[in-house]
Every structure is written in structure tokens, then in C-alpha cells.
Structure 1
Amino acid sequence: MSAKQNGVHALKLITTITNKYPTFRDEPLKTPYRWLEGRRHDDGAEGLWRIHDTLYDLTDFVERHPGGRDWIQWTKGTDITELFETHHITTRAEGLLPKFKVREAKQPRNVRLSFKDNGFYRTLKRRVRDKLPELDKSPIKTSNLIIDSLLGAAFMFSFLAIKFNSYLLAVACALCVNWTVISAHNYFHQKDNWRMRLFNLAFFSYREWRISHAMSHHHYANSILDLEISYFEPFLCWLPNPETKGVVKRFGAWIYGPLVYSMLCLAEFAKRLVESIQTGKSSFFADDMIAFALPTFMYLVDSSSVLNVLKLWFFIVLVASFAFALIGLNAAHHHPEIFHSGDEIPDEIDFGVYQIATVIDRSDIKGSHFAVLTHFGDHCLHHMFPTLDHGILPQLYPIFHETCNEFETVYRECNWLRHIISQHQQLARVESRTYDPRAKFT
């Protein structure tokens, strides 16, 4: 651990969410696999899989895991408590655990989020479990139709853009690419399926995002364990740290932020390329070639100019990247009244209450299946139950609101414009706040 991590900068960021400052967090090149390696140093899993205070050996279950082998294979040597709780709503997986038990862990959990049986999250999960058989599953087919149609539209507009050499049609293509990628996020949370691979359409990697998003961000949003916070540093700094957040970082991001948005997709590709060179091990897989599907198609339908295809495709990627970041970074998490590491929060906070503390949902897209799927909607419920299709989440609001009222926890919403304004206010914020679950949203 560096001197900086041991010094005042680290202390300013440590909260009751973690006992230790994350190993490798301040390395210049932050990658999902390095994040997992840091968890192996910090989690006290002793080379096994830790769930709460018990160690399990899931080696023989890797190939039999219904959700896919990657979830188990990648997490060996880490604490998977949050991952296990949120990805298994029924009790079936819990019933299988005893056969894999090795022993109790030797040290307390590093992450200080609680899952008490009578707490908010487990109470809500029991109610959701009881509600599942009654849910209307037909919206799942609508989700499938939406993403399939968006994929078809992306190819159609790419064809028209190259045929008419139109940058306006290229913008339409880019929007469809962006919406397809965001919709694919719905699927990489679920068991392995072909639609999750559409996330790779614009140089992203569903594999890496299963770690950085599903394992890191979803459970530890806005904390020092959240890769989607540390990835953007030092360019976009949302954590309120006056020791490291000078005037340029606070207000310069308002100006250069759009450039960061536009380069996000290409930066993801560059990061994996650098990682491959540094480690001598490729970070690329065969399905990463999906990123070249559109330009290949454009060349096949109009091979008169390779340069023109490349120019239009590059433009499509930049616009899609900008749209993805504009939607994603202003979706739910960055508002001055939302908890960020550096703020005060109740000790040993319930996992579900923590999710509410780090989210303000978008009110302007509620009720629209298309808008929710393509704009990271119903964000709070999605964080708590990520394996459920976005289409069926609205049916859970009655029991969610009931649980919030019972535990005196305020669920918050605002429109997108307020999110965009507030996200920039959060970039400038350096003072610490105290989160009170019962406080009214202002």
C-alpha cells in the first residue's frame, strides 16, 4: 500500500462501508481483473469463496453453475456475499451451500454492509420471492423485441448512412447502437445468453462490465470499491475530497466532460490493449469482434471507399459513446444529496438502505418500457434485484414502497434535467454530508 493510501487522502475517503482502503485502487491503469486481485488481498476469503462469515469451496460447481461459469471462476478468493444475496432471490442456492462449506472465516468481513434477517433488504427479498409466481412475465418478451429491433435499426441506419454519405443518418445509427448497448446491460446481469454479447457492439466488453458493473458498482455504488467511480479519476471526480479535488477537477470537468463522454468507448478498447501489453496476456476474446460487425457490414454494402466507411464508423462510435455516457452518468447516482465515500452514513448500514442512499431514480421515464430499458431506468430496484428483467420491475413497486414506509426510509426521484445539473454540482462538491435514511428529499 502506497504512502498516499496510508495518508490523509485515503483517510478522507474511508467510510464505514469498508474497513480497508482497497488494494491497487490508486494504480494508474484500473482494470476489472486487477480489482478482483485487490479483493483477494482484502476480503479474508483465504483462497476460497466467502459468503458472510463462512468459507466455501465452489471449485466443483464452476461448470455446473446455472448462471454461467464466469461468475464463479472469476471470484475465487473473494467475498461474494453481496453477489450471492442479490443474484439468488429464491432459497435454492442457499440450500446447496452446506455441501460446499469448508470452515468459518478467520477475520471479519471487510465490507460493512449488513444482511440481517429482519433488516430492510432481506424483508424486501422475502416479499419479492413470494410475489415472483404472480408476476406477469410477458414484459420479458417485450424487452427481447425492443433490443432485437434496435439492433436491426442500427444496421439499417448504417446502411442508409453509407449509401447516402449522411452524417445525420449516422447519428440515428449511433443512437440505435447506444440504446442496443444499454439494453444489453439488462442481459449480462442474467445467466449466459446471446443478447448480453450485444454489449460489445461499440468496443465495450460484457465480460469486463460483469465485473466492473455487476460485481463492483452494483454492490458498492459511489464508494471507494466502485470501479465506475475510480475509472474516471482524475478527469471526473465525484467523491467529495477537498485534499485532492482542486479547482480544475471541480469545475474544469464541466468543460472537458463532453470530451470524456465521447472517448469512453475507445478508451475501453485502449485500456484492454494496454493491459494485454503490460501483462502479456490477451484481454480480448472472439466475441470482441462484434465491435467490427457494423463497419464490415457497411463495407459490404458499399465498398467504394474504405476511408469513408472508417470515417462514418468512427463518427458513429464517438456519438454512441457520448450518448451512452450522457445517459449513464446522469442516470441515478451523482447528486449532492446522494451518498458518496467521504460522506457520513449509519454504521453497518443495511444493504438495501445503502442502495437507496446511492440512488435517486429518474421520474420522467417511469412507465415507459422502452425508456426504462434504454436509459437505465427503475435503477434502485434493478440494483437490488439485477437478475430480474427490467420489464417486470414495475410490478414490484407496491411492495418496495411498503417496505420503505415500514423501515422509515425515503425513496427519491427527480427528472433527467435535474440529474444533469446535480451531477455537475457533485463534481464541484468537496464538503462532507450526512445521509439520513428518513430525511425528506429537497
Structure 2
Amino acid sequence: MEEKANGVHQLKLMTTITNKYPTFRDENLKTAYRWLEGRRHDDGAEGLWRIHDSLYDLTDFVERHPGGRDWIQLTKGTDITEMFETHHITTKAENLLPKFRVREATQPRNVRITFKNDGFYRTLKRRVRDKLPELDKSPIQTSNLIIDSLLGAVFAFAFLAVKYNSYLLAVACALCVNWTVISAHNYFHQKNNWRMRLFNLSFLSYREWRISHAMSHHHYANSLLDLEISYLEPFLCWLPNPEIKGVLQRYGSWIYGPIVYAMICLGELIRRVVETIKTGKSSIFADDLIAFAIPTFMYFVDSSSLLNVLKLWTVVIFVASFAFGLIGLNAAHHQPEIYHSGDKIPDEIDFGVYQIATVIERSDVTGSHLFALTHFGDHCLHHMFPTLDHGILPQLYPIFHQTCNEFETVHRQSSWLRHIIAQHRQLARVEPRTYDPRAKFP
């Protein structure tokens, strides 16, 4: 949005994408379900489902939702605009909406991200919609083959690690667990399927991550609404806020960061156990037992030494967690040139432009199906169209770059090494910056 000052058009800027500071954000125990409860306080959905400025009653549609009931059931009382836009590329869902409409919302949207018909995102989505029938769908089967092969490698290396009492082979097993879990992330964005449950192999939970990642991080990356930012505070603080970032958080995190990486998986289990005890409502489900499939298999291979199995499994869990953190936290989002809440961006920013503002692509995995699937590659397009399999995203780059050129927005890339170095610079940064969508990446 531009304003006129002394006859000159000036871009109006903002430092946060929300009108309200998120309810419950600063509680000591941050959980996915508490985040949803905060949204119910802030979104002006009035106990219904909000999409743009209208309220809908989707109660009768919960069981019929093609993607699974959880997406609808969990979000009652919240604004689901971003999720509705990104999860429905065709017009089928949009055409169904009028029959569920109740009335106009009485409050303006809390999130200042826009979806104008002539804006970047909807222009790109129309082009993707037109392109979908022409896409080669065979890479979807390749994705399935990759994750199935990785799962097989997990148990093959687990067998060998126990058979030869080898910590080196346990590390190999851990790396395969990590890559399997990251690949499973491709599937929990989609309608319910068995591969999404492989995300639970290392004590992570696809149920929790459908909220913290798919509903929170994907739409509001690097903002106050991003649970993947707030979960790791005060240990890792990426937002440029000098009031919460002391010297220890800014520079000590360079040293203890790897310890945080190694604790991500076990830490999530501990957090969910504490949440269950504190709230009296279980955050542990039957499919969480999937995490015990590996040690159980190890024990069947060699039941003579339970202690030895536990030692090898401990190596698997902590190394897998470290690798997950190293890849995930250096995947796309934390360089000083990327927007973080506190920096300045154009007011009422288009959703697609916002995603570009919060991402610098990993250039070293682009173009490889295997590396993209196992290293959170094709990150920007995945944020915009999360339900599309990673394997077919590369076919969208021509129209994506065409749209970037038309809207004078730069899709940026850098190497993984630069991401790692810049992520530590971002941890130390407290000075706000101004994001210019047209600026070339240095």
C-alpha cells in the first residue's frame, strides 16, 4: 500500500502481520493446542470457521472433508483463510462454500496478509490450476519409492547395528530415520495416508506438526504466530528483539545450539507428557508407539542384551534429532536478509510475496528429487502449495518465475553453508531491517 507525502508515493510499512499480540504466546509451556486456543481468542471467528471476512458453519462437513476430519475439527473457532487458500487449488471447495455461509464477520481480520484477485498469490494459483492437468504425475510414485526405501534402510541398518554392535551403523540408521521423517513431512500435508505416520518414528508427532508446522509455520513463517519460532525460545531466538535477546541468546546459542538440535525429538515427547499431566487431556496417541518400532525390532534381533539395544537406540534418537535440527533449522528461513517479525515489510502484504520474503531457497538441493524430499527443498513453492507432492513442484518453476518477474519480486537462493553461517548471524541480530521485494540477493 502506498501513501502520498509531499507529492511523492511512499510505501506504507509494518513490522508485524497481526493486529493483536497473540494470546498465550509467552506462556512457559507452548503447545499446538494452546496455539489454536489463542487463535480462537484473536481471530474474530465467533465460534465458527472464518474465511476472509465471512463466517461459515462447517459442522456437517467435518466427516465428509476429503482431506480428513482433523483439518476441520481442530480449526473450529479460528480464521482458516490461509489454509483454505493454499490447500484448495481448484475451485471445487470455493464453489461449495456458499451453502455453509452464516454471515459476515463483525471484526476485521487479525492477520494482515492479503489474497487479492489481481495479487501475486492468486495470479500464480490460477496459473498452477491451469497447469495441473498437464503435469507429469509419475514423480509422485518416485516420492513413494524414496520414502519406502528409506524406511527399509532404517531397519536394515538397525539390524546390522545390533548384529555387529556397531555405533557407526547406528549412526547410519539414525540418518535414515532423519531422512524418513523429513520425507514423511511431504505426506502429512496431504489427505490422511499411512506414510504420514512415519513422521512419528523419532518421537515427533504428525498430529502436533499438522498444527505447529502446516497451520502455523507454513502460513505465518517468522512471525509472532509461528510456533516453530516460539517453541525454541528462549534458547534459540531468531526474532530481532533486543528486549528478549541477551548476550547469551545472541552468541551463546552458537555454542549450545547443537545440543538443542539433539534434544528436539526427545524434547517434544517430554513436552507432550508434561502437557498431558498439566491439562489432564492426553496429547499421547496410539500411533506414538511407532517410535518404539525400532528398539523393539533391535531387541528381537538380539534379545540377549537389552542394555546394549538401549545404548544403540539412544545413539539413533539423538543423532537423528541432531540431523533433523541441522537440516530443518538451516533449510530456508533464517538469514538476516529474510523477514522476521520486527523487520519492516509492505503493509497488507500479499500472501505469496510474504512467503518469498521469509524464504531463501537452498540452491544445492534444487533440481534433485531425492535431496529436495529429504532436505525440505523447493521450499517456497511448497509453502504456497503444500498439498502437492514434492516431486511435481519443479514443474511449476517456469510459471512461478514468470509471476515473480511480473510482480517485480525476487526468488532468492543460497548454499547450505551460507544458510548455516547466516542462521547464526540471525541469532545475533537485534537491529530491524526493511525488506524490499525487488532487492537482489547479494
State TM-score, norm by structure 1: 0.97
| Counterpart position of 1:304 | 304
Q: How does 1:84-233 map to 2 (within 5 A)?
A: 84-233=84-233
User: What is the CA distance between 1:86 and its match in structure 2?
Assistant: 0.2
| Counterpart position of 1:335 | 335
| Counterpart position of 2:415 | 415
Alignment coverage as a number of residue pairs: 429
| Counterpart position of 2:370 | 370
User: 1: distance between equivalents of 2:406 and 2:16?
Assistant: 24
Give ranges in structure 1 of 5+ residues lacking alignment.
1-13
Query: What secondary structure, in the 3-state scheme, does the structure 2 residue paired with 1:219 have?
Result: coil
Contact 2:16 2:223 in 1 (8 A): no
User: 2: distance between equivalents of 1:133 and 1:64?
Assistant: 25
User: What is the CA distance between 1:340 and its match in structure 2?
Assistant: 0.1
User: 2: distance between equivalents of 1:367 and 1:78?
Assistant: 37
Contact 2:140 2:392 in 1 (8 A): yes
Query: What secondary structure, in the 3-state scheme, does the structure 1 residue paired with 2:102 have?
Result: strand
| Counterpart position of 1:396 | 396
User: 2: distance between equivalents of 1:247 and 1:283?
Assistant: 35
Contact 2:16 2:341 in 1 (8 A): no
Contact 1:90 1:129 in 2 (8 A): yes
User: 1: distance between equivalents of 2:64 and 2:288?
Assistant: 25
User: What is the CA distance between 1:299 and its match in structure 2?
Assistant: 0.3
Contact 1:336 1:426 in 2 (8 A): yes
User: What is the CA distance between 1:243 and its match in structure 2?
Assistant: 1.7
User: What is the CA distance between 1:15 and its match in structure 2?
Assistant: 2.9
User: 1: distance between equivalents of 2:16 and 2:340?
Assistant: 12
| Counterpart position of 1:11 | none
Query: What secondary structure, in the 3-state scheme, does the structure 1 residue paired with 2:239 have?
Result: coil
User: 2: distance between equivalents of 1:282 and 1:213?
Assistant: 20
| Counterpart position of 1:3 | none
Give the counterpart letter for 2:421 in structure 1.
I
Give the counterpart letter for 1:85 in structure 2.
E
User: 2: distance between equivalents of 1:245 and 1:145?
Assistant: 44
| Counterpart position of 1:345 | 345
Contact 1:140 1:389 in 2 (8 A): yes
User: 2: distance between equivalents of 1:381 and 1:292?
Assistant: 34
User: 2: distance between equivalents of 1:114 and 1:365?
Assistant: 30
Runs of 4+ displaced beyond 4 Å: none
User: 2: distance between equivalents of 1:200 and 1:242?
Assistant: 36
| Counterpart position of 1:245 | 245
Contact 2:16 2:342 in 1 (8 A): no
- Do structure 1's residue 315 and structure 2's residue 310 form an aligned pair? no
What per-residue deviation string (whole Å, max 9, x for no partner) do you get for residues 401-434 of structure 1? 0000000001100000000000000000000000
Give the counterpart letter for 2:413 in structure 1.
E
User: What is the CA distance between 1:31 and its match in structure 2?
Assistant: 0.4
Give ranges in structure 2 of 5+ residues lacking alignment.
1-13
| Counterpart position of 1:427 | 427
User: 2: distance between equivalents of 1:437 and 1:281?
Assistant: 44
What per-residue deviation string (whole Å, max 9, x for no partner) do you get for residues 202-253 of structure 1? 0000000000000000000000000000000000000001122111110000
| Counterpart position of 2:294 | 294
What per-residue deviation string (whole Å, max 9, x for no partner) do you get for residues 109-142 of structure 1? 0000000000000000000000000000000000
Query: What secondary structure, in the 3-state scheme, does the structure 1 residue paired with 2:327 have?
Result: helix
Give the counterpart letter for 1:216 in structure 2.
S
The share of aligned pairs that are identical, in percent, is 84
User: 1: distance between equivalents of 2:414 and 2:271?
Assistant: 34
| Counterpart position of 2:236 | 236
Contact 1:16 1:348 in 2 (8 A): no
User: 2: distance between equivalents of 1:155 and 1:365?
Assistant: 26
User: What is the CA distance between 1:16 and its match in structure 2?
Assistant: 3.8
| Counterpart position of 2:3 | none
| Counterpart position of 2:9 | none
